[in-house]
Chain A
Amino acid sequence: MSLKNALAPFGIWARALARPYTIPVEDIMRAPADRYRGWHTNDAEACIGCGSCSDICQNAAIDMVVNRDATKGDTGLRPMVDYGRCCWCALCVDVCPSGSLGLSSEYTWVDKDPEVFRYVPGVDKKPWDDDTKGWHGGEWDLINHDRVPMSMLPGETRGQTWAEVVLGYSEEEAQREAARCLECGICTAACPAHMHIPEYIGAIRDGNYEQAVNLIYETNPMPEMCGKVCTRRCEDVCAHAKQGEPVAIRWLKRFATERFDDLREVIKADVAPIGVGKRVAVIGGGPSGITVAYYLAIRGFEVNLYEALPTLGGATFFGIPKYRFPMPSLEKQVDMLRGAGVKLHVNSPVDAALFEELRSTHDAVFIGAGLMRGKAMRVEGEDAPGVVNALTFLLEHHLRNNTDSDKVSKEPVVLPGMKVAVVGGGNTAIDAARVSLRLGASEVVISYRRRKEDMPADWEEIEDAEHENIQIDVQAIPLRIEQTPDGRLDLIWGPAEMVADKPGARPKPVLVEGVENHLVVDRIIGAIGQGPNLRWLSPEAQGTIADKWGWIKVNEDGMTGMPGVFAGGDLVNETADAISAIADGLRVVQGIPRWLGLQ
């Protein structure tokens, strides 16, 4: 053993003079690192209560607790964190689709009461609520918020064809898009028909398409229609939409139903035959009538469906153009009705006498007669030849091209080379404009009173129209229509100024006096809304079931003021879209058996 080694340990005495090696308390109390993961924060207003945080937490540290009333797109629940369980991994933050959740950079929190270590961040106020340091969403996302793009016919050429614009997902695309679903289920509450959305999306993701369409058919008898044209309130509230693009729920439904040429072979309606021996008459073959007829028929009811037109579908047949919802898709769904044993009576308008007869020969009657009256623009000169209502225009067009109806003229309203103005900003206006284009119009202009962002039409429809070179004039108030000496029409309009209205309401367009603009065209199509038309009923019946404008009021079972007479669809609900009509139908499917004491 060398002396050197024996003395070596004493070498560290040199440190006796060095600064203390321990860290002064001020240093320990230094600020935490910028991205330190401390106690939770949550922007309780931005949080949508989706529960993704709770689902991902493998420590089960998060309970969703009631904090406020549920609304569409907000469950009203908020995460409560139990710090006896939390390990500060921040996975909850990384998956939070709203980006509301975060971890503050707060190191320590001392309290004598153990109960306080379980709190609802953002609701139970804490000193670190506004800490911008720590671990927050947005900087980096574990979740992909981008949608699988949909292939479409190119905008430049599709104006010359009636072919479907949307081409649909391939199997691989559909599965990839389906895999984006977070399964939070916030969509289900927003869907008027409360479809089993996460469940059927999950089945699509796993390639179980039969299971998917069966889940879909539990609450929707026209899914191929909804898969193509639904207003998709579900997508508006999809958690992904908070920071990116919602799951393409509509396109996935479309994908699932399009997998099968004949759904009759696939759908296994597994319901009790409670209605055997009972008869129900359905007036109107639109979505609400189809829903009532289908679900009652599979429950054993004898169902007679009366439709005035040669074809079923209602506004989804005579209103929605075929490049959005083609006939074969509609026929597939009508086949399901036939398969379920519904007796279809087409070309059979119901009048006051037949209505009374149906009441006496059936156990219940459902009215789903829709809104068959196009509203007038109420401008001077509206009755000039060449001015038509959009509803009439579309109805005629679809009857002429898709049925052998002899009730329509052979010549379309819009002829090749014409210039067309469409007045209005809803889906009907866009449809009328795009149909005009496909009929050969050389130029189509949509003229709307408010701003583009105020248009009630679906934003995707608006975009599609613009891609087809349809011009949209906004803040244009129609003043009057004049005929020009050469037989054309002059739509005279004044510019509108947007004026703030009540809080929460859209700003109002107010005419700027003294300015007149001229839009000279060959045809003017008025598309400013539809209203009910119940004149086919006796005045007494109208008085019993409807208000003076023809809107029908129903109870929670969908029954009108006339016992045994039920109603639904556009005549009843304010939303006036297909899925709301279907939801109304589903309510009546519950209501009629209840009324008949069958449950």
Chain B
Amino acid sequence: MTIENPHVEKETQLWVGPQHPGVTGNMAIQVWLTGDTIQRGITHVGYLHRGFEKLMERRKFIQSFPIVCRICVPEPDTNEYLLAASIEELGGITIPEKAVWLRTLVLEMSRLASLVQQIGGGAGATGLGAVPNWTYTLRDYILDSFEELTGGRVYHMYMVYGGVRRDLPVGFAERMEATLRKIEERLPYIDKVTFQSSVWRERTQGVGLTDPAWVKEMGISGPAIRAMGFARDVRRDFPYLAYPELDFSVITSTGGDIYARMEIRRHEVVESIKIIRQVLQKMPKDGPVAAPIPNVFTWRIPTGQTYVRAEASRGEMGYYTVTDGSDKVRRVHVRGASYVHGFAMAERMFEGLNIADLHPTLVSIPTCPPEMER
């Protein structure tokens, strides 16, 4: 005799978000479930839209720096760099050697801060409270270094057209090194509760799968593409700043699941630390940190357009920038990795996912609503 379970076939509709428990909640996902299995889901954004691209069209070039950093909270510097690099290209500004290295330093520091944060986020989304406690603290140590170097903890506004605003403070390298050691010291413990833990493996292996066929169609990048075995990294494929002079590996994995994507971050933390050490060692000791630029109140840039890209912790970020001879940009289109990951790709990944795996999946891709919504 079979007992008819009236609930099995009945579809339940559920809104996940919008609230803001973490990086996944400030957008909303509407899912349809049977039991606890997601049948399909669609993403709803707009709760975080601040119109930054439009605001930039009404601002003098320099005034966009306090705006663009807010496009990505954990990794503002990529945005500062892309804005600076595109306007410098269109406006004919060359930055001094020292600025090249200082920019590389902050870009890698922000990747590192972001990577450790994402590892904590990924572990937290699977219910492991200890790891985010550790990694957020580690991130805070990196923010201490940011505070010392740039004057700001979360939003740095350190880059300007022509270079950066300040040189390294005395003793910076030693204090940075101490923080890097703290991170290295903690990694084995993170491994134990996550990558080496059979429970966590169970939760993450074979879950949240991506399909290599989507790569071309959707423009996937970052850990999401590298977790399918493609060695793609803007730092290597389209080298910028001091990256060509640095020794680092592009980490790949196979499996295309949560585990693979998180594992890549774990190894990239090590690469990032390696890069920061090299930068601090190889950076020129003297020289100006910024080149003079035209009067920021009246600077006009001839008609032109450019696309500039960089590797953020989430994948390729790019700014498509158009100038029209006036003192403001005509258009800036911000291409963030999360935009493709968080809409098109995520929606395809929802089907068949257990509701409990929704957040670990989103965090592992990752998606960053501030960056999607700009």
- Interface, chain A (partner B; CB < 8 A): 1-2, 4-6, 8-12, 14-15, 21-23, 32-37, 52, 55-56, 58-59, 87-91, 94-95, 103, 134-135, 139-140, 142-144, 179-183, 202, 205-206
Besides A35-B169, A179-B294, 9 other CB < 8 A contacts? Answer: A5-B201, A9-B197, A9-B200, A11-B193, A14-B189, A56-B62, A89-B155, A179-B298, A181-B295
A135 CA to B165 CA, complexed, in Å: 11
**A8 B297 Cβ-Cβ under 8 A:** no
Asked if B147 CB lies within 8 Å of chain A CBs, one says yes
Q: Could you say which of B144, B202, B298 contacts A183, with CB atoms under 8 Å apart?
A: B298
Closest partner residue, chain A, to B163 (CB atom): A140
Contacts of B155 in A (CB 8 A): 87, 89
Contacts of A1 in B (CB 8 A): 198, 201-202
Closest partner residue, chain A, to B195 (CB atom): A8
Number of interface residues of B (CB under 8 A): 47
A95 CA to B200 CA, complexed, in Å: 53
**B198 A8 Cβ-Cβ under 8 A:** yes
Contacts of B160 in A (CB 8 A): 94, 142
Report if A95-B296 is in contact (Cβ < 8 Å); known contacts: A6-B198, A9-B199. Answer: yes
Report if A179-B295 is in contact (Cβ < 8 Å); known contacts: A5-B196, A12-B193, A37-B152. Answer: yes
Asked if B65 CB lies within 8 Å of chain A CBs, one says yes
Closest CB-CB distance, B302 to chain A, in whole Å? 13
Which of B5-13, B130-138, B232-240 binds A? B130-138
- Interface, chain B (partner A; CB < 8 A): 59-60, 62-67, 130, 133-134, 137, 140, 144, 147-148, 150-152, 155, 157, 160, 165-166, 169, 189, 191-193, 196-202, 289-290, 292-300
A-B contacts, 28 of them at CB < 8 A, read: A6-B197, A8-B198, A9-B196, A9-B197, A9-B199, A9-B200, A10-B192, A11-B193, A12-B192, A33-B147, A33-B169, A35-B150, A56-B297, A58-B60, A58-B64, A89-B65, A91-B62, A91-B66, A94-B160, A94-B165, A142-B293, A143-B296, A144-B292, A144-B295, A179-B294, A180-B295, A181-B295, A181-B297
**B198 A11 Cβ-Cβ under 8 A:** no
A55, A58, A103 interface centre (most CB from chain B within 10 Å): A58
**A91 B152 Cβ-Cβ under 8 A:** no
**A23 B137 Cβ-Cβ under 8 A:** yes
Closest CB-CB distance, B192 to chain A, in whole Å? 4
**B66 A87 Cβ-Cβ under 8 A:** yes
Closest CB-CB distance, B124 to chain A, in whole Å? 15
Q: Could you say which of B59, B134, B152, B200 contacts A88, with CB atoms under 8 Å apart?
A: B152
Closest CB-CB distance, B321 to chain A, in whole Å? 17
Q: Could you say which of A11, A32, A205 contacts B298, with CB atoms under 8 Å apart?
A: A205
**B297 A52 Cβ-Cβ under 8 A:** yes
Closest CB-CB distance, B169 to chain A, in whole Å? 7
Report if A58-B66 is in contact (Cβ < 8 Å); known contacts: A9-B197, A142-B296, A183-B297. Answer: yes
**B298 A181 Cβ-Cβ under 8 A:** yes
Report if A55-B297 is in contact (Cβ < 8 Å); known contacts: A5-B198, A36-B147, A90-B151. Answer: yes
Contacts of B294 in A (CB 8 A): 179
Closest partner residue, chain B, to A28 (CB atom): B140
A549 CA to B323 CA, complexed, in Å: 64
Closest CB-CB distance, A287 to chain B, in whole Å? 31
**A58 B59 Cβ-Cβ under 8 A:** yes
A142 CA to B60 CA, complexed, in Å: 14
Closest CB-CB distance, A136 to chain B, in whole Å? 11
**B148 A33 Cβ-Cβ under 8 A:** yes
Contacts of B166 in A (CB 8 A): 35, 139-140
Closest partner residue, chain B, to A34 (CB atom): B169
Q: Could you say which of A4, A15, A134, A142 contacts B62, with CB atoms under 8 Å apart?
A: A142
**A2 B198 Cβ-Cβ under 8 A:** yes
**B189 A140 Cβ-Cβ under 8 A:** no
A55 CA to B64 CA, complexed, in Å: 14
**B295 A182 Cβ-Cβ under 8 A:** yes
A142 CA to B162 CA, complexed, in Å: 10
Report if A140-B165 is in contact (Cβ < 8 Å); known contacts: A91-B62, A181-B298. Answer: yes
A37 CA to B191 CA, complexed, in Å: 37
Contacts of B189 in A (CB 8 A): 11-12, 14-15
Contacts of A2 in B (CB 8 A): 198
Closest partner residue, chain A, to B63 (CB atom): A58
Closest 4 CB pairs of A and B: A8-B196, A58-B63, A11-B192, A5-B198
B59, B60, B148, B197 interface centre (most CB from chain A within 10 Å): B197
Contacts of A12 in B (CB 8 A): 130, 189, 192-193
Closest CB-CB distance, B259 to chain A, in whole Å? 12
Contacts of B198 in A (CB 8 A): 1-2, 5-6, 8
Closest partner residue, chain A, to B157 (CB atom): A89
A52 CA to B166 CA, complexed, in Å: 22
Closest CB-CB distance, A272 to chain B, in whole Å? 34
Closest partner residue, chain B, to A135 (CB atom): B151
Q: Could you say which of B197, B199, B296 contacts A56, with CB atoms under 8 Å apart?
A: B296
Contacts of B289 in A (CB 8 A): 140
Contacts of B66 in A (CB 8 A): 58-59, 87, 89, 91
Closest CB-CB distance, B92 to chain A, in whole Å? 14
A21 CA to B67 CA, complexed, in Å: 34
Contacts of A34 in B (CB 8 A): 148, 169
Closest partner residue, chain A, to B290 (CB atom): A140
Report if A8-B193 is in contact (Cβ < 8 Å); known contacts: A35-B151, A56-B297, A91-B62. Answer: yes
**A21 B134 Cβ-Cβ under 8 A:** yes
Contacts of B292 in A (CB 8 A): 144
Closest CB-CB distance, B71 to chain A, in whole Å? 14
A181 CA to B66 CA, complexed, in Å: 23
**B297 A91 Cβ-Cβ under 8 A:** no
Contacts of A88 in B (CB 8 A): 152
Contacts of A103 in B (CB 8 A): 151
**A9 B134 Cβ-Cβ under 8 A:** no
Closest CB-CB distance, A55 to chain B, in whole Å? 7
